[in-house]
């Protein structure tokens, strides 16, 4: 209960209204899990899973993609000669909504597949979705890993405190000393790239690669270290990705929790590689296009996903 209160306080300290959004997503998946596990009828089980998916993803799409779809739809109508006034929804993107939505959905899907026992303790489940160290930027945890850890009584450990603190300090170093210093140079160049020469643009792009890595992996280190101090083991999220030997190997090392999420809940349900070659290629492209859209509501992200998929 203390950790749950702390997690909601942490999340609501930015904008308190969004705490109720996270609570609603959590309750939908908690209730769907109970219903899925309590019935043997496949039709009803699928109905409750579908409800959890539609509601959870519907909230995510509304807050993250509504204005993108409105803009693209308006542009398409203009192309067809139908002129309508373009208007946007006044919505603010809740911090970490993609992360806690995917985390909650992984539970419902795993219960449906029989990979996860249903969680009847609502406090435990709400804490699983909202656990503050990894709430706003991952790693995206699975119920099979994290939920059972909350059931064990934790005691303070000096060794664990020192290990976790070292990881937190290393993450802060990567974020504050490396990423933020590189960002001041990169942003200056990227604001007006047309005014700089090729060598400067190349250097800015080279720096950006390390900026984004140290920024993101630094946060993951802080999250994993914070959880470790409290006695909880989060999954590894980065494993020296720039030493990868191929694009496939890169995605086994970069944002591992997201890559494995898409593999388990999108790629494999589509058939994975156990299908015809054309369907296999289609499955890969779908996963990376969705991954690109997950990263941002913009055609540049979709193009980015398509490049990796190809």
Given a contact cutoff of 8 angstroms between Cβ atoms, the answer to whether 138 and 224 are in contact is no
Helix (H) or strand (E) holding 93: none
- Tokens linked to 133: 């160290």
Rounded CA separation 248/252 (Å)? 7
How long, in residues, is the chain? Answer: 310
Given a contact cutoff of 8 angstroms between Cβ atoms, the answer to whether 231 and 248 are in contact is no
CA 41 from centroid of its chain's CA atoms: 32
User: Which residues, other chains included, contact 296 with Cβ-Cβ below 8 Å and sequence gap of 6+?
Assistant: none
**Of 117, 155, 252, 295, which one is the catalytic site residue?**
295
Q: What is the DSSP string of 77-102?
A: HHHTT-----------PPTTHHHHHH
Active site annotation includes 295: yes
- Tokens linked to 201: 């643009």
Active site residues: 295
């Amino acid at each position: 209960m203390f950790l749950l209160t702390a997690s909601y306080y942490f999340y609501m300290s930015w904008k308190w209204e969004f705490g109720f959004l996270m609570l609603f997503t959590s309750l939908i998946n908690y209730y769907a899990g109970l219903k899925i596990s309590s019935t043997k009828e496949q039709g009803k089980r699928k109905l409750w899973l579908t409800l959890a998916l539609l509601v959870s993803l519907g909230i995510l799409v509304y807050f993250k993609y509504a204005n993108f779809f409105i803009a693209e739809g308006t542009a398409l109508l203009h192309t067809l000669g139908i002129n309508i006034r373009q208007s946007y929804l006044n919505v603010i993107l809740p911090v970490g909504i993609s992360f806690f939505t995917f985390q909650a959905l992984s539970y419902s899907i795993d219960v449906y597949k029989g990979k996860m026992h249903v969680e009847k303790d609502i406090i435990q489940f709400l804490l699983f979705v909202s656990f503050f160290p990894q709430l706003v930027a991952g790693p995206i945890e699975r119920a099979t890993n994290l939920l059972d850890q909350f059931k064990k009584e934790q005691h303070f450990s000096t060794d664990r405190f020192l290990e976790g603190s070292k990881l937190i300090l290393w993450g802060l170093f990567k974020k504050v000393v490396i990423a933020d210093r590189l960002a001041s140079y990169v942003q200056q160049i990227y604001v007006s790239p047309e005014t700089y020469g090729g060598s400067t643009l190349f250097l800015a792009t080279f720096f950006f690669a390390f900026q984004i890595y140290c920024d993101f992996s630094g946060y993951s280190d802080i999250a994993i270290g914070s959880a470790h101090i409290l006695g909880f083991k989060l999954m590894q999220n980065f494993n020296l990705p720039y030493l990868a030997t191929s694009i496939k190997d890169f995605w086994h090392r970069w944002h591992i929790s997201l890559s494995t999420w898409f593999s388990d809940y999108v790629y494999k349900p589509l058939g994975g590689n156990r299908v015809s070659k054309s369907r296999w290629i289609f499955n890969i492209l779908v996963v990376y296009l969705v991954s690109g859209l997950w990263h941002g509501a913009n055609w540049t992200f979709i193009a980015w996903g398509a490049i990796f998929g190809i």
